Amino acid sequence: MLKEKARVFAEKAHKGQFRKIGNQEMIAHPIAVAKILEAAGLPEEVVVAGYLHDTVEDTNVSINDIKNEFGVEVARLVEGNTENKELTWEERKQHTIDWVAKAPFEVRALIIADKLDNLQSMIKGYEELGEELWSYFKRGYEQQKWYFSSVCHNVFKDLENDKIPAYFFEYKRLVDSFFQK
7-65, pLDDT tens digit by residue? Answer: 999 999 999 999 888 788 999 999 999 999 999 999 999 999 999 999 999 999 999 99
Three-state secondary-structure class, residue 156: coil
The number of distinct structural domains making up the chain is: 1
**DSSP H/E element including 109:** helix 105-129
Question: Could you tell me the residue range of the domain that residue 98 belongs to?
Answer: 2-178
Which of 38, 50, 19 shows the shortest CA–CA distance to 120?
Answer: 19
| CA 108 to each of CA 74, 90, 157: distance values in angstroms, whole numbers, following the listed order | 14, 20, 11
Q: What is the CATH number of the domain that holds 166?
A: 1.10.3210.10
Active site residues: 57-58
CA-to-CA dists, residue 103 to 54, 77, 97, angstroms: 18, 10, 10
